[in-house]
A and B are shown apart, each in its own frame.
Chain A
Amino acid sequence: MDRRCFISHIGRATAAGGTLLPLVGCGIGGEVPPSEGGVDIPANLGAAIAHLVDPEYRNYALQSSQSSLYQALVDKGVVTTAGEFDEQAVFAAAQTDALVEYGGFYHTETELQLYGLAYSLVLDPPAA
């Protein structure tokens, strides 16, 4: 998605009382669009991890595709193809993950993927 498209979407959502509608025809960050590779991200996953949305992870979200983040987290058992979220898997992954510096703080790699996906899904949920 380019910046104009992103801001236009937010503006429409604000005008509509804050409900974010699915985007059509825009890709995040001008890079790989969310539906790349044909990965179906369950529609309920956004709600399952919405509590983890934090504006600090916006840049991370914009650097990655939803599908790549989603697939990485499925592979780790953090989320499922049924749209479930397992926080214990985040803890388990943290015991072996490399630590990454982001936004001035250390994170586990899995955390970054998770918070990036949360931000991305809440602001750009996958098409139904």
Chain B
Amino acid sequence: MIVDAPVLERYDVVIIGTGPAGLPAALRLAEQTSLRIALIESGMKKENDSIQDLSAVTATGDMSPGHWAFHAQRTFGGTSNAWGGWCAALERRAFDLQEWPIEYDEIDRYYPDAAEVLNASPNVYMYKEAEIESAPGLVYKPFYTRFPVRLEEKYWDTIATHPTIDLILQATCVELEHEGSTITQAVLTDSLGDGSELSYIKADYFILACGGIGNPRVLHHSNIAKDSPVGRHLMEHPHVVRAAKVYLNEERLRQYTVDEPDVVHALQLSSERCVEEGLLSFSFSFDLHQTAEKPLLGRSKNVVVADVVVRAEMEPQFDNAVSLSDEVDGLGQRRAHVNFHYNHDDLAWRTWQILTEELLRSGFGRPAPFDASAPIGGGGHYIGTTRMGTSELDSVVDGDCKVHATDNLFIAGSSVFPAAGVANPTYTIVALSLRLADHIAALKEGV
């Protein structure tokens, strides 16, 4: 139900943020337990410009401040109000190299439920990818792109009437107070105020779900996890539109393409090949509209002719970081400062060369050279700023998404990803949130 202020002296769980990271966790906990949950949202049911301005950042590097702010939506439902609806499972590459401290299956088993939350096609977990026969380094790995579900539309009524979830709107968390390693309470203020009037909410467990910029910002303001790389290793997904042209053997391609609408077809190097060659994940997508007859390896074949869009994984770089700016927002809080530079170029070039060889030598297709002048955009994916790992010195959260330096603070969202992959993160964000909810439920039950 919607409340103006906390109605309990102490909740079981406080979740800060109602986007794809926070809202599914709240609903999962509520479905599976009788825990009392407070759900805190900085924004309102619909967008408010003054509140949205709280997400504004200062920025240096390759992306404008507006880019970072746009994908940090402060309304009920969070950035599900702005996302494009693309779903794909994360690649195994980084898990095979143990860049994640958890097994791939830990996320994989939540993908079906995550698909249900996002109204995604079941193929997103049933047909994640397919190896191309006679071209073993290649996989067909599509993106499933139904009309993007807006969590506000889907779940508002459920939350508004829920007996064990208290939704507090227009409340910004400005700090998490702690005694030693225990978070004692979240400090809230009216999002439309001047930050002088504060209220407090206590809980056994706290989940921070404020996005890849918002999560480290709250930690910075709270002086939490100072020995950990909070805000560091920010990653995005460089998109290169019309990166190259390609011909693809239509007959062979159609053996793999998903026959349903709202699919973006794409090929990648397999995770095994990436590991073998020391490459990061790399996808190129194409449409099937234009065909021609062309010779391929001594045969005249019908081919799909397409301009490709490349999506590349970035390496985490320490200096790509979210810190605190000298500029303050309307609540008197220091804004986030984002320093970010793309670093995918060399690997992308090398990956395209290897893809070229795989396509040509197998007769599956014929690519053109990669166009170095093609413009690069970001995906709106803010990844890695409270990364998961085993050590407090090089990560912020552990394999259960608990902040190393605390007993009871957890983080939900793509800020916990230690590697970005190329798959759009929302689907995996939801899967991890459901997993986190199950973990907290087990903690409360003493399991």
Contacts and interface: CB of A to CB of B under 8 A. Distances in A.
B366 interface: yes
A115 interface: yes
A104 B298 contact: no
Interface in A53-105: 54, 78, 85, 87, 89-91, 94-95, 99, 101, 104-105
Interface string B267-305: 000000000000000000000000000110111100000
B298 A111 contact: yes
Contacts of A94: 297, 360-361, 363
B205 to A, nearest CB: 55
Given A94-B363, A95-B361, A99-B357, A105 B247 contact: yes
Given A95-B361, A99-B356, A99-B357, A105 B297 contact: no
A111 B369 CA distance: 17
A105 B367 contact: yes
Contacts of A107: 360, 366
Contacts of B247: 105
B300 A52 contact: yes
A108 interface: yes
A87 B299 contact: yes
A99 B360 contact: yes
Contact of B367 (A51, A95, A106, A114): A106
B363 A91 contact: yes
A85 B297 CA distance: 12
Contacts of B28: none
B160 interface: no
B393 interface: no
A12 B363 CA distance: 38
Contact of A54 (B294, B299, B360, B361): B294
Contacts of A89: 298
A114 B360 contact: no
B297 A90 contact: yes
Contacts of B295: 52, 54, 111, 114-115
Contacts of B361: 94-95, 108
B259 to A, nearest CB: 28
Nearest to A104: B368
Interface in B42-94: none
Nearest to B294: A54
A21 B333 CA distance: 84
Which of B297, B360, B368, B369 has the most A CB atoms < 10 Å from its CB? B297
A45 B357 CA distance: 29
B344 interface: no
A104 B299 contact: no
Given A51-B300, A52-B300, A108 B294 contact: no
Nearest to A88: B298
Nearest to B298: A90
B245 interface: yes
Given A99-B356, A99-B360, A104-B245, A114 B298 contact: yes
Nearest to A49: B298
Contacts of B363: 91, 94
A55 to B, nearest CB: 11
Interface string B363-385: 10011110000000000000000
Given A52-B298, A107-B366, A108-B360, 17 more contacts: A51-B300, A52-B300, A85-B298, A87-B298, A87-B299, A91-B363, A94-B361, A99-B357, A101-B369, A104-B245, A104-B368, A105-B367, A105-B368, A108-B297, A108-B361, A111-B295, A111-B297
29 contacts: A52-B295, A52-B298, A52-B300, A54-B294, A87-B297, A87-B298, A87-B299, A89-B298, A90-B297, A91-B297, A91-B298, A94-B361, A95-B361, A99-B356, A99-B360, A101-B369, A104-B368, A104-B369, A105-B247, A105-B366, A106-B366, A106-B368, A107-B366, A108-B297, A108-B360, A108-B361, A111-B298, A114-B298, A115-B295
For the complex of A and B, list the 9 residue pairs with the smallest distance between their C-beta atoms, beginning with the closest: A90-B298, A87-B298, A51-B300, A52-B295, A94-B361, A105-B368, A105-B366, A104-B368, A90-B297
